[in-house]
Amino acid sequence: MWVEEKGTSADPADTSIVCDCGRSLSLQDAFQPGRPGKCRGDRPWLLDRDPNGSGDNLKLLTRTATNTYFPQVYTVISLPSEEDELTRLVRDLSGELGVVQSVADVATAKRFNPKVSATLGSYADEEIFDRLQRIRDGARVDGNRSPKLSEFDAFACGRPEIGQNHPSAKLYAQTLPRDAWADPEAGVDLSVIRNLVAVHRLREVSCLYGFTRFEAVPTGADVEIEDVQLAVRGAPISRDADWLPAIEQFGEGIFIHFDEEAIAQWLQKKATKQRNEKLLTGYGHWQKRFTGNAPQYPGTPYVLLHSISHALTAEIALECGYPASSLKERVYALSGPRGGGDFDRCGVLIYTASAGAQGTLGGLVATAPRFADILRSALERLRICSNDPVCADHEPDDRSGDRATHGAACHGCLLIAETSCEIRNLFLDRGLLLQTMAEENAAFFKI
């Protein structure tokens, strides 16, 4: 058997498989459903055959097609597990500090308890009370809670320094003073941002646990582990696996902590509620593809933060020296255990990482002092898209494919490389960020 090609278009109709017996088959015919025959359960990557098989019709798939392989990867950011000296001292004195309920109580304990005074006398009362609260709230990472909750709590703690400034540290970040990044003359309302954190060093750990073909498994906004047999039939990477391959990468980033109260007030606006209803309608059509097994709707705050994350990623790439495809995001639109279903944790981490032990070169962190100008430029670029008015007027309705999850978003404005996006370019709408050509005005930012 051999392959014969004719023409110059590389179209399947111009390629045929020919046999010595004189029979031939066009690749265009081979793409017809059921033409390659039934699945026999062959699993060449496992060097075996599934004894049960599936009995489904085989589908011809081009070797270089983009839907040949969709990896299922779980990614976390390493948090500092070591306790500083003050935390250890406070933990040892937790009995003596049991009645402390405020910073003033710490001063009283120092004054009347010689043991507390001798041990903690050189530390500020505010720092002691902060450590005591963290110990009481269970600041140590709980393996049963979402890693994103722990990551957000670490980045948004407000401490001047997070982690240790040491070459072997897994995480080191600084909460920047507001006057270091919030330029009042930038022309954008920065009151909706509580803090900006420069993450000088972080470690990203990614683990591969399965893959799919033809269609990617839908990813939830919380980046939970996708069930390999739930919405899309997936495949294990080995038989009877007792370990999974993982890599660690070191890098840097910036974390933007948004004001949850400002987002809550924005959600109560009439225009925002109307836009929310349309996004929910689009999600309802999209989830039908997965026969009821699609991830839950991430919420309009997530769509807002996801959209601003993409806008900042594209703009920061012009400033920091790294290509946009090397930047990654983690969007935090979370409800904590005491949140009552409301989004009480809102933030965005934009970072880059490389496999080298020394990490990256600091270009991303260096953009933090210019953050106000970068944010304004990112929003200005989104005001008019090259595909307007078609893009601005797009409704998240019953459009085919993933377009049902999008508002005003396309490759000309918000879509970025899928390797940089944590949720494969789903749930985006620049109409939530600022006023576009569309009639609705659900803008969160004022410029």
DSSP annotation string for 208-233? EEEEESSSPPPPPTT-PPPPTTTSS-
Q: What is the CA radius of gyration of the chain?
A: 26
Encoding tokens for residue 442?
Answer: 């659900």
Annotated domain spans of the chain = 2-66, 85-136, 147-201+250-432
Q: What are phi and psi of 438, to 5 degrees?
A: -70, 160
Q: What is the DSSP letter of 38?
A: B
Using the CB atoms, write b or e for 314-329: b if 16+ within 10 Å. bbbbebbebebebbbb
Q: Is 361 helix (H, G, I), strand (E, B) or coil?
A: coil
Whole-number Å distance between alpha carbons of 352 and 78? 14
Sequential pLDDT tens for the chain (447 residues): 888 888 777 788 888 889 999 898 888 888 887 888 888 888 888 888 877 777 788 888 887 888 888 888 888 898 865 556 787 788 888 888 888 889 899 999 898 888 888 888 888 888 888 888 877 765 444 555 678 888 998 899 888 998 888 887 889 999 999 999 998 888 898 999 999 999 999 999 999 888 888 777 766 555 555 554 445 667 778 877 788 899 999 999 999 999 999 999 999 999 999 999 999 999 988 888 777 677 788 899 999 999 999 999 999 999 888 888 999 999 999 876 544 457 889 999 999 998 876 567 888 999 999 999 999 999 999 999 999 999 998 888 766 678 888 999 999 999 999 889 988 899 999 999 999 888 788 899 987
C-beta neighbour count of 117 within 10 angstroms: 12
Please report, as a single letter, which amino acid is at residue 318: L
Helix/strand/coil (H/E/C) assignment for every residue in 230-264: CCCCCECCCCCCCCCCEEEEEEEEEEEEECHHHHH
Please report, as a single letter, which amino acid is at residue 186: A
Tokens 């970072």: give the residue.
351
